[in-house]
Structure 1
């Protein structure tokens, strides 16, 4: 009897152990890997992608077609093409975090896949918007988009939605569940002002899109989850500060299991090839005093003004014991935490990999900068990093249309029949009501001109009422919105050929900009936010309110706006020559002469001076930069983009507000105190003046440390008397020395750290007009170039101000000055 009981106990123990070991193991599931547009299965990189005829999922085949090619990779020889909204539906048998990969390769075909334009969605989220399926960095490579999402429903649909007069396509799809806790729901949000705090709502309420995955110090590799890790070298800002650490030859053993709560890594966090290589600081001399000069910095391209999930991987496999090396982690030059190897689990006496996660909001620069700086108090002053991942955080959107209806089947005919009857009654009621409302509308618009317009393109579903109407009706009313400026969406579709790619003339943080021609023949610039993104609504409202009440020849005019069907569209006068930045650097356009550049600066200063003093109550632009100064066909400059503008202070000397603007142009006083004044615009304008003089970006991470920030570098060169060394070579020989001296003094005054030491925009305008007078007037000596040395004349400033006219197109709103020699 005892023997039987012992056997039962041993059997029970073995069952428990087998369950435990099963929970610790993980293999990439076989489903779903799909070879789209084909009935045949193919093998790619060791994984079998099944043909659609054997697929254990469903898709709306009635709306699709196939296309084939002869490209070398078997996975990209076929594609499924969608002429209307279509979906793939996948049954989900296990809740958890899933990885979705979509493969696109627009091979040569009669359909011309490269002309596709489409959106891709899952319930509640836009995965892709206005995509063309092309890999813009390498035309010979496939575009692979990778997403992480939490799925807790019995099934999920991935829906492909072609844009108007276009189509969608896909070559392959992967969807499979990931190991437990590969990504935690709880993560800290980092802000340059205020440190870290828990991310509201958690990560599981969002979708993550992979942007970069770097094997720091190593080569390209692929992990068990079929994720590609690429070398980091091209993202290093100061390559001279870093070296590749000797690869580890021993064994790296992460914590086994799927339930780690961090910061220690599991078997699936990153492969041993990542943890066994690293970048580290160069050998630091014992006499080195300023270790900040030895920081290692990566500049990572990202989407502007968007949350990103950042994961940093560490494994100290060289130190003889823990705690000898610790260093500081900074993001955007702001300290985050101190990295200390003592925090890793080293109970197994082998190198212990670990990681840290953060959510970071990117700025307008289009990069996220990550830096590691050795700590001088450490026994071994060093810094290192083994791997880095960055993913875009996609928020849910109410604009995603609901899932499409599925085809009829045996088990759902009765519900469909009942639904059809009830739906028919509802539809009849809606049609009757719609007919009544339409008749009322037509009576009101008897005098309106008849036309053969196309039906309105519904990109986002929902009604046609506007966002501004929504806010006014359901929240606090928005004052002074000029409803007479509203332009119907159909007019803008016709003007831009349904926002066709051939009409695209620019891109920005708000959205794409298209060239268009209205029905009255006016050429306009149409700035359209990403449909249904929900981002930028405050800026959209601000732009309308600001530009509808001001008008000036050096401010871009607002022609109208559209807020139908979840759209946010702004229509401006068309500026033929584009942005000032387009004519300064990284361009194929002819170089502007010094006189033209001076006049552009004067025009811009007039517009800003009017904003500060001529508009009712005064307006602070808050985002002055070279891309927000536009040029017409005659190079007349106009200030644009008022989405971040704020009304000036009434009784107080400043406005207390959250910091917004563009990195490199931000007033340091405003950045530190959150106190906004007109002098903040003056500082930003000073940076623009330096750009005009030097023809380089305000922030250039590829340059040495002391040259990255143009404002700091320019002031340093002026103080050293070597400003001429950084002037744009194409204009060096054109500048009169006295004009240069006055211009550089103006820059220096604008860039004073204390706002009270900066001039007003009116004073800046006067100085620039004087610099132009020195260049073109009786003191002009252009033949002598910058080497000329003439004494500045004594100039008496006569206080004769012209009237600041808010409505006058022809008013320069400038200060009239007289020049005379004493």
Structure 2
């Protein structure tokens, strides 16, 4: 069979940006270095290997095992002893979940009564068999180190040794330590080789970090061995001379000056640091020889046939061939599949597009790893997944075409395909089980009609809120679809973002950004949280009003929320308000004078009486509900309080009664009463009254409400402002021609561009201008160009 070369062209590579490696405060945390079969600590390769008998770690499960010591001197005290297993045995370690670890095994068949070179066994970890049918015959004359990168998702990590029948297992030393963040990327390009003229890059479709990798080799191109003592992560880099296939085309080169690093151990270039590869790798290279334009350089590495590999190529322009990248280390990552030849070939050729007199090819380092196929689902801590009534799916579900995508519940398909939905937002059920510790009750942070809400941590470290319906109930299917359809196409800083969803089998799960400070209701009453100040409450109301205004006017066709209430306004770590829960939302086309005929839905106490009477839904229904929220903010009591006297049960009715009697101040939250500027309070109260008009046609729009609330905040911040009745009469926003750009500056697809805030700032500046000119008795034109 002809050897099929997998050619990587330097000219081709440089069309793609390499991965950014962020600054790291990395140390070898959560580290285990173990000298097996011994009670003695050994210092080797700048690492201290602790004698296995140390009681602090790890937990072991041995039935038949023994220690053995070499009968003759060996080259290193680390290989003087070994642990032998005659039956299946394991080590268990405490680990930090959702991190990638380096796992290393050291083998050396030294001379002893037990013939170690006859050992045959498997080594496995949760979800993967790392060594299968391992034969230790080749470890007689020299040591062998097997390195693996393993994503650990649990708090406990078990390594199991399983001897083959009539044989045994052994090893001399072991390493387990957490790797720097982003050392291995989660998103990676797949290199597709078609023929000598056609190659391209696509995106590797699976979650790359969930794979386990076995190191095949690292090559220090252009120089000698870089030993484990030199490499920050204890890796070995071999000379490349035995792998190069056309040495006549290449010459070695080195960089005399030390590569400069910043204080946090990144290189001066943005794309690498000392954990990616040591200085010694970047300070040497091979380049194509002078006088032979177009010469390429090739390396050939034996690999397992027809499986995926991880390839990392290291570059540093020590030859000044590319002035734009002068002495800056950088690298490129690929997934590439080996063919049936058993060889993987890497070739670099000169980039003729670079404006230099004699273009040359060069390369500093090669890393190659095998991607290990998962052998079984990874179990959750302390759980037997066979007893869990949840479907277990390995990997993320992101495939399929929209035309074939339907939400399924139980054994039947409900509803229609979700139009324009982003299937990339789908999250596997297994990932959500892991994120929430299998929906542990201690992680519940809220409950509602749809189901429980859990705090979770995704494998990328993001904190999320996971809203899960009662499994198999079949309730809330329409709301589930509506929420996904609405939130997958809109983005605004005052709307809670949908991170993803899961619709596997009978599950309906929505995953949102996590809001650290919970609901507005929790922060107003029945809570041990710090009391919100009046200024904070105004800012929260303004944020929620901006979110609702965006729904009404910033989205094509308009969206009516239909369930505005204090529990659906959430607060982030900075008390920024975001509107949530779009399960009851209805879309337009709508304008101020149109409506949707529909069955009445919402929450008692917040329901628009006009909507209740006529069953005609308009955006003014949201305005009414928001008026109730404003009263809650002012009075710090629920919309419905059954323990109150009958006339006070409904907050909206009671608030309007008090306003008409001139006693509204008597029901203001006592904890903030002394803080409130009276002019600010007056504007706020008038806004509440306008929102709670019995008929929708008499209510303001959300932009009217927003402007009034902004003005109330201005008066709170600057009490010296003239807010006399005459001045305020000039400022009644419903009678002023509006800024046409306020909603138009928001993109229809919901992507926040930053222009929303600019338009709102422009509106406030115009408001200031109106206030100033109103006091002078002049007339101004408030129309401005968008």
TM-score category of the 2 structures, normalised to the smaller one: 0.3 to 0.5
Larger-gyration structure (1/2): 2
**What TM-score, normalized to structure 1?**
0.43
TM-score (norm 2): 0.45
